[in-house]
Amino acid sequence: MDGLIQLSYLAAASLFIIGLKRLAAPATARQGNFLSAVGMLIAIVATLFDRQILSFHWIAVGAVIGSALGLWMARTVKMTAMPQMVGILNGFGGGASLLVAAAVWHHLTQPGAVLPLDTAASIYASTLIGGVTLSGSIVAAGKLHEIIPGRPVLFRFQHLLNLTLLLASAAMAIYLLITPGHSGAFLAMTVGALILGVLVVIPIGGADMPVVICLLNSYSGLAAATTGFVISNHGLIISGALVGASGIILTQIMCRAMNRSFTNVLFGGFGAQVAPAGGDVSRGLAAKGVRETSAEDAAVILSYARSVIIVPGYGMAVSQAQHQVRDLADLLEKKGVQVKYAIHPVAGRMPGHMNVLLAEANVPYPQLLDMEQINPEFERTDAVLVIGANDVVNPAARNSPTSPIYGMPILDVDKARHIIVLKRSMNPGFAGIENELFYNEKTVMLFGDARNSLIKLANEVKNL
């Protein structure tokens, strides 16, 4: 029976790998996710036959509650709230690993039980990673949901405190290797990990959230893998490692898209301090003034263009304007305008954020172009419509070495013939950096909530 269970775990892990591979292409992605879910079902059913399990009713209770909550969350969450949903799901995974480690530790430190050294080490690793994942994910989700301030929270000696906490938790783990049954030390280690998770995420600002979400995704996988070491289970180790690897790859992609090193994102506290020269620059730019436009005039520019590129940003997500974007694009296409979308890798608050929102609005994915594909096209484009994007279209990244975002690859929006920017107000973007694109003589600004502006634009286009 044991061999059969182990083979079932192997089958599950294989299905996870095939599923992930299929997830790499839009045509097979849904099937891939289904295969992966089948793998999970096989793993769960196989575990029911494990000899270590003596009673099932408590498992059933937990499973029913968890499934109901998970189903409810997944069904009701809005697409615009997807970043915090992914964030909190990471937290639940990490939390589960932490709890399993604690339960096994308590079980094996009872009188008469034996706690082997390597199992103990695995338990402490699982507790630390799981704890950091749990509290870090809660803070990240809170920031994305705007319950916790999205701006970086910085204070003196922050890194020193983090290092101290990490070392103290590690010291507790080592102490526990020598005296395994000390529940005070176990509690201290757990609390240390939880506080560390909070402190690691709290200094990271809203625009850097895609990196944090990827990183926590990776942690939730590594936490599962350490659980596999705790209960000596191959299936858990393979699956956890897969997720850990995928999180690391996505983290790298995000960092590259911002031209920043991993450590810079983690320790930078980006956007907390305005660049020293910022004051002068912004005053100089403000003196130039921006050209405000009306929906009517903007509609004329768009309707008589041959080609239009739409650049969505976080502002589109905030005002939930994806359907209005699609409506406007449809009207323009009926008038014979060629419409494309330019997607910056870090637009929004998680990798692929804009793609999901536009997919919800039924925009066909071949119309969504990556930065490398679309950048050569801007100079041949008549009009660009920027919807609530800021830092990802800021030319300062190309030509202002003092700017905090200098070197970040951007969408070359300023090369198009006309630029229309939909924006709530002239407040600088998240990074607190002035955007010279708004003062460009080719740029006109249409102020207001993105959704309302798009409805007005669509009406004007209809009437032309």
Partner 1 sequence: MSEGVVILFVIFVLAMFVGFEVITKVPATLHTPLMSGSNAISGITIIGAMIAAGMGTTTLATVLGVIAVAFAMINVVGGYVVTDRMLQMFKRQPETER
Neighbours of 11 (CB within 10 A): 16
1, 4, 24, 114: residue in contact with partner 1 (rule CB under 8 A): 24
Which residues in 413-432 contact partner 1 (CB under 8 A)?
A: none
Q: Shortest Cβ distance from residue 89 to partner 1 (Å)?
A: 5
Residue among 131, 152, 203, 240 that touches partner 1 (CB under 8 A)? 240
According to DSSP, residue 378 is labeled G
Per-residue b/e over 26-45, b at no fewer than 16 CB within 10 Å?
eeeeeebeebbeebeebbee
- Which of 166, 241, 272, 318: binder of partner 1 (CB under 8 A)? 241
x-or-dash pattern for partner 1, window 108-147, by CB under 8 A?
--x-----x-x---x-------------------------
| Residues marked as catalytic | 391
Residue 86 lies near partner 1 (rule: CB under 8 A): yes
Contact region with partner 1 (CB under 8 A), list: 83-91, 275-283, 417-425, 452-460: 83-91
DSSP 126-193: HHHHHHHHHHHHHHHHHHHTTSS-SS----TTHHHHHHHHHHHHHHHHHHHHHSTT-HHHHHHHHHHH
| Stretch binding partner 1 (CB under 8 A), from 54-62, 141-149, 414-422, 445-453 | 54-62
Q: Cα–Cα distances in Å, from 274 out to 189, 333, 390, 440?
A: 37, 41, 16, 22
Work out whether 178 is an interface residue with partner 1 (CB under 8 A): no
Query: Do the Cβ atoms of 138 and 98 come closer than 8 Å?
Result: no
Furthest CA-CA distance within the chain: 84
C-beta of residue 197 within 8 angstroms of C-beta of residue 216: no
The residue count for binding partner 1 (CB under 8 A) is 118
Tokens 């969408």 correspond to what residue?
411
Binding to partner 1 in span 359-388, by CB under 8 A: 359-360, 362-366, 368, 370
| CB closer to partner 1 out of 233 and 390 | 233
Q: Does 221 bind partner 1 (CB under 8 A)?
A: yes
CB of 160 to partner 1, least distance (A): 31
* Number of neighbours of residue 99 by Cβ within 10 angstroms: 15
Instruction: Give the interface segment with partner 1, choosing from 187-195, 235-243, 279-287, 435-443 (CB under 8 A).
Output: 235-243
Closer residue to partner 1 in complex, CB, 45/163: 45
